[in-house]
Structure 1
Amino acid sequence: MKFGASMFFTDYSITPAQMATAMEERGFDTLWAPEHSHIPVSRKTPFVLGGDLPKRYYDVMDPFVTLSVAAAVTRTLRLGTGVCLVAQRDPIQLAKLVASIDQVSNGRFLFGIGNGWNQDEMENHGTVFATRHKLARERIEAMKEIWTKSKAEYHGEFVNFDPVMAWPKPVQKPFPPILVGGAFPYSARRAIRYADGWMPQVTNAKAAPLTDVIPRFRQMAEEAGRDPASLTIIIGAQPPDRGLIERYAALGVEMVYPSLPSEPADKILPMLDQWAALKQRMQA
């Protein structure tokens, strides 16, 4: 079992450099950074986890900036978006961002993606809420073409461009692992269709325990003609519960990680120490 940690980096939280350095010193595997470009004042859609939207969602920095800072001060720590909102980003520019951070980190990037829940936010980007899933899939397919071909082109309903030349190409071949985040079963289907793994989430609407849906995910993969063992499962937003994590390990989950609050170093470092101690006990 591998361990990571997630942080909404803000101008009042621990810095990405401090966080990454502390994680690497403690033997963590991956630092995850989520994103929201902004939060509109209007609210057509409720917070997917229920209750009021936490302040850190309004204040979070761009993940490619924070993870690049983390890459500069570490050597082994992997760096992941958890998740990047692909339906709100231009695919040609995003392909360059992903390849660039994979280059500067020497192949340590994990591309966690999601299709978003905030209708107001994505509509500000010109994204139609009802068709965001197909839009995101086409953008991923288009980026794969850019990462793997010297002259890439893509022709879909939402993404359409004639041959282009774009560098750099990623260090990892054919491209960094793509991990789809979201609730069961819809995000599971997307992960099986065009990704390398799944980052399942429990929401108010989809409250089934992850220990129940993981076997169902593997069955879906097999039925779709994919080797279930080839699809990585990574679970975030978890408590430091050894019993629960052991159950995940028995189900073949590769990594778990907490979503830590956007607090300064003096509050975050003891939390990392708690998780590091749990990690050491489980890996002993």
Structure 2
Amino acid sequence: MKFGLFSMNAYACSFPERAVRIAQLAEATGFESLWAGEHVVLPDPRTPESRMAPEERILDPVVMLTYLAAHTQRVLLGTGIIILPQRNPLVLAKELASLDELSGGRLLCGVGVGYVESEMRAIGVPFAERGARTDEYLDAMRAIWTQQKPAYHGQFVSFEGVQTHPQRNIPIVIGGHTPAAYRRAVLQGTGWYGFALDLSYTARCMAALQKALKQYERPLSLGELEISVTPSIPLTKAIVQQFADLGVHRLILMPPTHLDVSQLEAYITHIGETIIRQA
């Protein structure tokens, strides 16, 4: 089992000096990866589907992970997740390729379709188009990253006769708990990411992923589908083993959001001593 740390661009870690302290401690403690989520804007007043209050701080994940890349050595850097339909795919592809280059190939690009309609509306993306845009943007990004003569023509993005370097074949992690997300993970992802899941929900997601693996032909170039989960329950060695038995490869831990930096350091140290080093 590998262990990641979530919220590296929010709450206590939304302040740069604190984020560096936490990132370096997590790397030294044995965390395999650091993860940063995304909300460009938050609804005000807060709506039922929003996980964050409008006054809570959250920095751009690509910017924050680039900053943390300069202050760490080995730990992987994951976007968990970027709301892909809100982004221009070629601009995002350039930003992510730059981050991967600067970090020495440590990027895991997690993407999802988003779930807060007011955020989409403010950015100017029709909520009903988010799935179709995500499918096209993934194809377009893969084309610009890997093709000798990049070209893509779709409903929402179209280009040819252009180049961008550096080109990087960045791992794509698909987030979401829907049939469409499972399809994307099978057809386009090196991994799948489930957020805030207990063991029972994880088991249902794994069953749905197995169904999708039988329904769709997974490209051989993608290899085995790596499973990441942010657990919604406290961890013990026994719970970690149960997640592993379900087929989970990585647990991305989300600390309580109210912790200050000293409490967060204590949390990371405790996880390292009681979970990671004994896993």
TM-score (norm. length: structure 1): 0.87
Other-structure match for 2:101:
103
Q: Which one of the candidate residues 24, 45, 48 is aligned to 1:46?
A: 48
AA of the residue aligned to 2:7: M
Q: Shift of residue 42 of structure 1? A: 6.0
Aligned pairs (5 A) from 1:26-37: 26-37=29-40
Q: Shift of residue 56 of structure 1? A: 7.7
Listed as ranges, the gaps of 5+ residues in structure 1 are: none
Contact 2:199 2:242 survives alignment (8 Å) = no
> SS state of the match for residue 188, structure 1?
helix
Q: Shift of residue 8 of structure 1? A: 5.0
Q: Which one of the candidate residues 249, 272, 278 is aligned to 2:268?
A: 272
AA of the residue aligned to 1:187: A
Q: Which one of the candidate residues 180, 189, 207 is aligned to 1:186?
A: 180
Per the alignment, do residues 3 and 31 of structure 1 end up closer, same or farther by CA in structure 2, a change over 3 Å counting? same
| Percent identity over paired residues | 31
Contact 1:36 1:58 survives alignment (8 Å) = no
Deviations 1:93-152 (CA, angstroms, capped at 9, x unpaired): 100011011101100000011110011111222211111101011011101111012432
Q: Shift of residue 279 of structure 1? A: 1.2
Other-structure match for 2:130:
132
Q: Shift of residue 234 of structure 1? A: 0.5
Other-structure match for 1:141:
139
- Cα RMSD (Å) of the superposition? 2.5
> SS state of the match for residue 25, structure 1?
helix
Across the two proteins, how many residue pairs are aligned to each other?
Answer: 271
Q: Shift of residue 76 of structure 1? A: 0.8
> SS state of the match for residue 272, structure 1?
helix
AA of the residue aligned to 2:271: W
Aligned pairs (5 A) from 1:70-219: 70-170=68-168, 175-201=169-195, 209-219=201-211
Contact 2:172 2:190 survives alignment (8 Å) = yes
Q: Shift of residue 236 of structure 1? A: 1.4
**Large movers: runs of 4+ above 4 Å:** none
Partners of 2:11 and 2:66 in 1: how far apart? 16
Partners of 1:231 and 1:63 in 2: how far apart? 24
Listed as ranges, the gaps of 5+ residues in structure 2 are: none
Per the alignment, do residues 96 and 38 of structure 1 end up closer, same or farther by CA in structure 2, a change over 3 Å counting? same
